[in-house]
Structure 1
């Protein structure tokens, strides 16, 4: 397949995907990504798939070391608490602990090194796709002077795709695996009461997180709208600096921007209120659960059902468990935030272009010698960027070949519009 054929195929695929997007009312994450993927899919998938595969293997090793670390630490405490134990036993355990910590420390940077090229290339494709679509839109769209909000939408769309990739592949899977492994170890070492209480706490934790995440999504949508409006006011004022200065309109422009920033301030405070209440609620739940579990472990130690090392172990596993649950909550919030940002980007892609260009346009002569005698004629032309901005009204002009025409008129009479025509 030639380069031109591949280019035409790419254009056809993109046009089909955009048509699907325009016909779609829902912007759920599954449908959004399904429609967007054909437009940003690289020609060769195996390099990215290989990188992601190696990164997933590293994640599995990292999850295993996270679960094994507290267990080795409790073994060291148990060995050191017995005077008759030979010195070689804790030294060997300490050596194992050191190796696991080294592996755990190397896993994260290696994983990020493998994944970063995939993530940045995906973001580049999304940003370029958005810019290409903006250039395909009509002058009427760009005359609205939404430059500031458009740049924010493109940036958020590119960041959202990278965030979704990172969260889906490299945050959800390792934390779920670590959570299951930790609960299994707790059930084996302790008993069902500990696991039952933890599952109850996890259920309450998830419910609280879900409620506040929904509230945060609504607040984030409002924040995005307010942020876009503030950025639009700022960029529009700067782009029209000469006009603003000529009409001494600086106080009006500053007042508009100040009002937009005040609106942004209010929605930012509302968003932070939900974030803080969510953190307080989860913190209280974690504190109550931890206190109850430690009290149960202390009671079992007094009853000689557990040893001191196991008391240390349950504390370590609780810390890791809460870390995994907190990470999953971050994943949920981050996923929903990225969905909101991606919604704005897809809404931009769904804007229809009023003028569609042919894939293979008709070639016109580029020289007068090739075209022969020619003239330019406009007959009964009416034009306006919108019904409220009609510029030309039934105008007819004939420009014979080899002649020049000067168009003279007052400001706003349509001189520049004729040049564009």
Structure 2
């Protein structure tokens, strides 16, 4: 992960980002050098003042009496320099943060964009099993983790090591090897303690994240299913489930907080002990005449300044570990290869209106091992023809469309469009050639116009309105206060089922693809609107290859041919009239059940109808 991040903060194709990194590192070195000079300036000022103090009748007095002389004295100049050095070091740090901010945010944006695009490129099987709430939190925490790790590695870990080496060297040269050894020993014990405690308490943070994911997922899942919750009066049940997840988060959070208190106390105790020992050692040297009072101030200042980045280093290590855990989940998503992807040397689908023949050749497919959906399924849909696919629930009608659109790959067999094997085609070119009206229409939380225009953003506004009229939607929208600027709500919940289906039909018309697929395109429409839409669909499919999946057989009566699927195989095929003429056919039995005109609701007739349905 670190290697991957370095490619973002040192990109080969963007010299401006690299230059910003160089400037930030330069400012960092300057800040550390200024930091180290601060205790020295204070030492010299104290020693200078101390040297000007005499003793007169047991009372201290300044040997320099006049105010102007004091102002221009060396000690005052050094004290002013002390203040300037402190302000300069802080200024360099802030300027460094400002310069590096663009690098960090640019990296986060690129990584987040790549993750987002990768998620869209993953196959449908991943998205069918995902949990939206947990996935959203994974990306959010992972992005924040990237920002923290980048800043920590560049501005905390490396600079602290540099400052430790600098301080230890200065103490060794100025005060003796025992002072350098004390500084290194203190840092060693401090680091070992921090690593051990942090390692122990990391598991609490993992539990806390897991509980937070669970709580977030339950909340989002429940809110998405708001209507279902209301239908079954389960508000208190959902609140209880959410509270149970929050309780787990609370318990893990408390353990995290208490263990953090232990870590902070131990760190302070270790460093306070080291500073106290250093002060005692310096006091002894002063008593021997080997050091001055200024040296005492300098040692204290150097060690105290070292404590500041080390204090951050403890929290940085803790947060870096957590950030890496958060990032690992996100980067794991990046390493997941889509099951459906372009083969090497994939080529674009060559679309010829006169040859958009669709062929399934010995296709076998299953979602779950041992539970086949298709067994050697073979059929041909000629170019420009309107074919219908009917069958019972679970017979595989929608699965055929998923295979055609390459949401899934068949376990064996081949699918052709215009004689071209779709497994060898570029996915984008294949999917551009197919417009689908899905059974369950989900809309974006935006305006109605945006959702209609989504079918093809290259088309102008006039084309959107034409498609809306063809889908029998325009007259209804014209009566709304905000018209096409009406917000449809999350997943289109503000629209009726019929309105959502008409939006889906309008989008498919706007896409203007040579192959049209209608998966229960009129199941949510009333009879009058359904007849209007069927007329529209006849116009839209004129000259195009189209597939209509239906439960209501009356909507596919005019299909050129009807394919009847049963148990993963093609059971029957023919026109509406041909299939009805076979009185023992599955199609004719389905038709009789759906269009019984006896009007006899007697007990005997109901029993007879029940037996017919069971058959």
TM-score range, shorter chain: 0.7 to 0.9
| Equivalent in the alignment of 2:29 | 60
| Whole-angstrom distance in 2 between the partners of 1:419 and 1:389 | 19
TM-score normalised according to structure 1 size: 0.79
Of 48, 60, 63, the residue aligned with 1:84 is: 63
* Residue aligning to 1:219: 204
Note the residue ranges of structure 2 that are not aligned, 5 or more in a row: 53-61, 405-615
Larger helix proportion of the pair: 1
Q: Which residue of 2 aligns with 1:73?
A: 42
- How many angstroms does 1:285 deviate by? 1.5
What's the secondary structure of 1:143's corresponding residue?
A: helix
2:362 and 2:377 in contact (8 A); partners too = yes
CA contact (8 A) 2:9 2:18 kept: no
- Structure 1 equivalent of residue 297 of structure 2: 312
Q: Give RMSD over aligned pairs.
A: 3.2
Query: Partners in 1 of 2:129 and 2:214 — Cα distance?
Result: 13
Contact 2:48 2:75 in 1 (8 A): yes
2:213 pairs with 1:228:
yes
Q: Is the 1:160–1:341 contact (alpha carbons within 8 Å) kept by the matching residues of 2? A: yes
Change (3 A) 1:262 1:359: farther
Written as runs of structure 1 = structure 2, the 5 A alignment for 1:218-297 is 218-297=203-282
Out of 49-58 and 246-255, give the one that drifted further: 246-255
Q: Do structure 1's residue 172 and structure 2's residue 157 form an aligned pair? A: yes
Taking a change above 3 Å as real, the CA distance of residues 260 and 41 of structure 1, as seen in their structure-2 partners, is farther
Give the alignment partner of residue 351 of structure 1, picking from 336, 339, 345.
336
Report the CA distance shift for 1:253/1:139 in structure 2 as closer, same or farther (over 3 A): farther
Take 1:181 and 1:41, find their aligned partners in 2: how far apart are those partners? Answer: 27
Distance, in Å, in 2 between the alignment partners of 1:390 and 1:249 is: 37
In the alignment, structure 1 segments of 5+ residues that lack a partner are 1-31
Give 1:371's aligned residue. Answer: 353
Aligned positions of 1:76-115 closer than 5 A? 76-81=45-50, 82=52, 83-84=62-63, 87=70, 88=72, 89-115=74-100
Say whether residues 1:149 and 2:134 are aligned partners.
yes
Query: What is the CA deviation profile of residues 60-100 of structure 1, one whole-angstrom value per residue up to 9, with x for unaligned ones?
Result: 11001111111111222222232336532123223422432
* TM norm structure 2: 0.56
SS in 1 for 2:300: helix
Give the match for residue 18 of structure 2.
49
Distance in 2 (alpha carbons) for counterparts of 1:208 and 1:157: 27
Does the CA contact (< 8 Å) of 1:145 and 1:236 recur in 2? no
SS in 2 for 1:354: coil
- Using the TM superposition, give the Cα deviation of residue 340 of structure 1 relative to its aligned residue in structure 2, in angstroms: 1.3
Structure 1 contact 175–327 (Cα < 8 Å) conserved? no
After superposition, where does 1:327-346 map in structure 2 within 5 Å? Answer: 327-346=312-331
Distance 1:246 1:397, change over 3 A: farther
Taking the aligned partners of 2:364 and 2:240, their CA distance within structure 1 comes to 37
Query: 2:183, 2:303 within 8 Å by CA — same for their partners in 1?
Result: no
CA–CA distance in 1 between the matches of 2:356 and 2:18? 58
Please report how far the alpha carbon of residue 50 of structure 1 lies from its aligned counterpart in structure 2 after TM superposition: 1.0
Distance 1:350 1:164 in 2: 20
What SS does the corresponding residue of 2:129 show, helix, strand or coil? coil
How big is the shift at 1:276? 1.7
Distance 1:159 1:107 in 2: 25
Distance 1:34 1:287, change over 3 A: closer
Contact 1:383 1:393 in 2 (8 A): yes
Higher mean Cα deviation, 281-290 or 55-64?
281-290
Is the contact between residue 267 and residue 311 of structure 2 (CA under 8 Å) also seen in structure 1? no
Aligned length in residues: 386
TM-aligned CA deviation for residue 157 of structure 1: 2.3
1:406/1:248 CA distance change after superposition, 3 Å: farther
- Pairing of 1:191-202 with structure 2 (within 5 A): 191-202=176-187
Aligned-partner SS, 1:371: coil
Tell whether the 8 Å contact from 1:172 to 1:328 is kept in structure 2 after alignment.
Answer: yes
Distance 1:386 1:243, change over 3 A: farther
The answer as to whether partners of 2:43 and 2:298 remain within 8 angstroms in 1 is yes
- Measured against aligned partners, the alpha-carbon deviations of 1:90-130 in whole angstroms (never above 9, x if no partner) come to 23223422432332232122111211111111111111111
